[in-house]
Structure 1
Amino acid sequence: METIPSWILARFRDLDQRPHAPHGGGLINRTFLVEGRAGKVIVQRLHPVFAGVVNEDIDAVTAHLAAKGLWTPRPLRTDDGALWVDDEEGRAWRALSYVEGQSHDRVPGPSFAREAGRMVARFHAAVADLVHDYRHVRAGVHDTKKHLATLETALDAHAGHRLFGEVEPLARRLLAEAARLPDLDQLPLRHVHGDLKISNLLFQGEQAVCLVDLDTLGRMIWPFEMGDALRSWCNPAGEDVAHVAIDAGTFGAALAGYGEVARGAGLVSAEEAGAVVDGLATICLELSARFLADALREAYFGFDARRFPARGEHNLVRGRGQLALFDSVQARRTELEHAARAALG
């Protein structure tokens, strides 16, 4: 069983020599639950894509959230005041306060979607007046044009790949669909969570209590933040199947919950609200483009070796699935836009 190096724990007086075990099912950071002397604590070794300075962003944002009365995991400083500890490989370790709750890999039902929408709106309302320049900037996040260009480059570079015959027609149709979507770049950048899959919300029963996995904090346009959330929440089949469809009931419930908070707080402009379905559609195509490019490049960092012979085959299924989700959004666009207007005004 994996353990935390003893010298890392020794940097925290309350954690030194305390029992601990791996915790959760996250694929990015290595996470442990430590039975500290003063209570439970989460300790994580960050993935190399996250520099230690990301903890300075988390510290600033969570202090702001706590001052607004929101529950949130807070970074815990070492005995000498550091927010993280670098190991011999240059990987950052950190400790976070523990928040009791349960995460879900799928939205259990419309009531959970509505509550998730409320929680995200409370988060957005709390950070709306935040003044902070992010130290850790995620380059290329939801830069749709860049991901489409990467797909075109992959098509040119990997014509001899064993999956090219399956990827190429999907990619050509995707690129044609993307050319017809509106450009949303003129919308304002807002403080966002950046990765609102449902497993990044903690629930106590049916009540959402906080957002977790805050390494993706930053600025983004609102339709992409919510489009990514709705892509996750409203696809009950998940990312690892080819045949998926949007759940319009979950979509409506999630935005209704969001609107209960947002309308009174003036969080979302009419232009932003009107673009939420376009944001969802764009994210579906963007992810499909990333998966299809990775199918040819064999580049994705992980795959399910029990179901697929290699990364390419797994990513091809993911790419098909997100393209099918886009098709479903387009087929039900009128219904989804009506639900968005009803929820957001």
Structure 2
Amino acid sequence: MILNKLNSIYAYFNNNDEIISFDQLASGHINDTYFIKTKQNSFFILQQINSGVFKDVPGLINNKVLISNHLKDKKKHLSPIELKRRVLSFVKTLNGANYHKDNDGNYWNLMIYIKGSITYETVSCETVAYEGGKLMGDFLNLTSDFNPSNLIDVIPNFHDMSFRFNQFNEALSKASEDRLSKANKYIKLVSDLKEEMHIIENLKASGDIKLRVTHNDTKISNILFDLDKKGLCVIDTDTVMPGIVHYDFGDAIRTICNTAAEDEKDLSKVKFNIGYYDAYVQGFLKEMKPDLTALEIEYLPLGAKTMIFIMGLRFLTDYLNNDTYYKTSYLEHNLDRCKNQFKLIESLTEQFNKMKI
């Protein structure tokens, strides 16, 4: 049944082929993404964008294509084959559009699969951390001359701390007694950290930190590596939009330096790995340092703490809202994610003095 549906979608894209097998990729929280193999032995990524989360899907897809085209222009010295390994390539529909809208109002886009690539859900060596930092620094460096005003805000206020606190407070006022009781410890931690967690937002609002093109979802699983653990390509560019460097740096550190998956229930396994942090910073600054101000560099460590916090806050808010945003696999999934992030903040805080750049 699903294969028939995917083939009906695939037929709208520019090809003379047919899907013979597929696997659903489960790493994302928001979209439905499929790895597909065709009769002609080609491989693609077919993705349905969640229009319940993303209110302007055509604009989102346009963002992705604009940034990919910009990166391809910057890397045009590479061979066509190598370029397809280094930058996401989108397949147009038969009528020349970048997406297909089905009869149910769902939006689909099709990307060429990058062969010989792997992803990591967690990091197990400093080489991967270093390569991840280098590749994300390269992405931000190469897009630094792209005017961020040419991109739509895919999710307005995405990393805006005041906005996230307003969402949290609203969820708090409506949450069930049972969920409030189970989350009580983390509700207090949110209150304790509130002032510190607004520092970077205030610097952004004052104009002291530059607005630029940012990826906004830089978890380690959104970086492709080759089989030798060398960075290949930044993927999952759905949330590319205007932002500040601390968002991308911080969210990468959040996943790279967590010694466990973000929903690990055994909190004794959750620690902040300072060695991975140092390796990521080294790779990141190798590509990005010339474009950063002293003030931006100074606040990168706080950016890491802030992004861990904001994800913990969002998981907690969704839990209090009865799990309406993130996909969950069981009843307490969002609460476990929240606990995980706050344990990571605790471990980071113990080592914060070692994080200065």
TM-score norm. by structure 1 comes to 0.88
> Residue 276 in 1 paired to residue 279 in 2?
no
State the alpha-carbon separation in 2 of the partners of residues 127 and 184 from structure 1.
Answer: 22
- The letter for the 2-side match of 1:65 is L
The amino acid of 2:284's aligned partner reads Y
User: Structure 1 residues 294 and 43, CA, compared in 2 at 3 Å: closer, same or farther?
Assistant: closer
Q: For residues 53-132 of structure 1, what are the structure 2 equivalents within 5 Å?
A: 53-69=59-75, 71-100=86-115, 101-131=117-147
Q: Is the contact between residue 154 and residue 297 of structure 1 (CA under 8 Å) also seen in structure 2? A: yes
**Structure 1 Cα separation of the partners of residues 46 and 171 of structure 2:** 38
Report the equivalent of 1:259.
285
**Shift of residue 212, structure 1, vs aligned partner:** 0.9
Secondary structure of 2:67 counterpart: helix
Letter in 2 for 1:288: G
Secondary structure, aligned partner of 1:236: coil
Q: Which moved more, 1:207-216 or 1:47-56?
A: 47-56
Distance 1:325 1:107 in 2: 15
Distance verdict in 2 for CA 1:18–1:287, change over 3 Å: closer
**Shift in Å at residue 237 of structure 1?**
1.1
Aligned residue identity for 1:332:
Q
1:95 shift after superposition: 1.4
1:297 Cα deviation after fit = 1.7
> What residue in structure 2 maps to residue 328 of structure 1?
347
Query: Residues 334 and 328 from structure 1, CA distance in 2 versus in 1: closer, same or farther, beyond 3 angstroms?
Result: same
Alignment partner of 2:50 out of 40, 47, 51 = 47
Alignment of 1:231-242 (within 5 A): 231-241=254-264
Q: Matched residues in 1 for 2:123 and 2:343: separation? A: 19
**Match for residue 224 of structure 2?**
202
Please list every run of 5 or more consecutive structure 1 residues that lacks an aligned counterpart in the other structure.
none
- Of 210, 214, 218 in structure 1, the residue corresponding to residue 237 of structure 2 is 214
What do the CA deviations read for 1:307-332 (whole angstroms, capped 9, x no partner)? xxx1xx22222222211111222111
**Counterpart contact for 1:9–1:15, Cα < 8 Å:** no
Deviations 1:158-185 (CA, angstroms, capped at 9, x unpaired): 3x42132232332123212121345223
Contact 2:19 2:36 in 1 (8 A): no
Please name the residue that 1:301 is paired with. Answer: 326
For residue 118 of structure 1, report the CA deviation from its aligned partner: 0.7
Deviation for aligned residue 1:248: 0.4
Task: For 2:322 and 2:244, locate their aligned partners in 1 and report how far apart those are by CA, in whole Å.
Answer: 30
Quick one: percent identity of the two aligned structures? 24
CA 1:136–1:146: 2 relative to 1, 3 Å: closer
Aligned Cα RMSD in Å?
2.0
Mapped contact 2:91–2:110 kept (Cα < 8 A): yes
CA contact (8 A) 2:213 2:243 kept: yes
Superposed displacement of residue 110, structure 1 = 0.5
Aligned to 2:27: 26
Shift of 1:334: 0.4
Q: Is the 8 A contact 1:182 1:278 kept in 2?
A: no
Q: CA deviation at 1:268?
A: 1.5
Letter in 2 for 1:166: K
Separation (CA, whole Å) in 1 of partners of 2:264 and 2:63: 35
* Structure-2 change in CA distance of 1:257 and 1:14 (3 Å): same
CA contact (8 A) 1:24 1:31 kept: yes
User: In 2, Cα distance between the equivalents of 1:120 and 1:203?
Assistant: 12
Which of 161, 171, 183 is the equivalent residue of 1:144?
161
Whether the 8 Å contact between 1:224 and 1:279 is mirrored in structure 2 is yes
- Find the residue that maps to 1:52 and give its secondary structure: helix
Number of the residue aligned with 2:314: 290
